[in-house]
């Protein structure tokens, strides 16, 4: 028998009921989509770059991640479509920024966790 599963089946009815109640009013699908978007290495690099500056031009992002402007634009558009980034147009330039401080903190927490994991391995 596996050592990482219970050897008998029992559960805490009160705890299970309370958490199931909370899940019924929580938009877990939207949260999962956010993590799915950030699970791509290139998009995480783009998000990290946007954490470092208030806003960046698409061309700046392309140079930071070492891609074409079209590729950078694609990744930025996905971040925007998921509600993680905003954009504004100034003449012929398009500037992107992170949507809010919560998004920035989420990305920075994930990066800090990744650095901690690297040090413990």
Q: What is the DSSP letter of 8?
A: S
For each of the chain's 121 residues, which pLDDT tens digit applies? 578 888 889 999 999 999 999 999 998 988 898 899 999 999 999 999 999 999 999 999 999 999 999 999 999 999 999 999 999 999 999 999 998 898 899 989 988 898 887 777 6
Residue 9 included in any domain: no
Residue 95 domain boundaries: 29-120
pTM higher than the cut 0.75: yes
Task: For residue 61, give the CATH number of its domain.
Answer: 1.10.10.10
Residue 14 included in any domain: no
Q: What secondary structure does DSSP assign to 29-63, as a single string?
A: HHHHHHHHHHTSHHHHHHHHHHHHSS-EEHHHHHH
Q: How many domains does the chain have?
A: 1
């Amino acid at each position: 028998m596996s050592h990482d599963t219970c050897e008998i089946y029992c559960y805490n009815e009160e705890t299970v009921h309370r958490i199931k109640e909370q899940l019924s009013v929580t938009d877990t699908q939207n949260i999962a989509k956010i993590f799915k978007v950030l699970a791509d290495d290139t998009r995480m690099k783009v998000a990290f770059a946007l954490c470092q500056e208030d806003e960046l031009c698409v061309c700046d992002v392309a140079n930071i991640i070492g891609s074409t402007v079209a590729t950078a634009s694609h990744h930025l558009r996905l971040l925007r479509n998921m509600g993680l980034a905003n954009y504004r147009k100034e003449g012929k330039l398009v500037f992107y920024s992170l949507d809010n401080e919560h998004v920035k903190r989420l990305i920075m927490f994930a990066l800090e966790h990744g650095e901690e994991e690297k040090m413990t391995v």
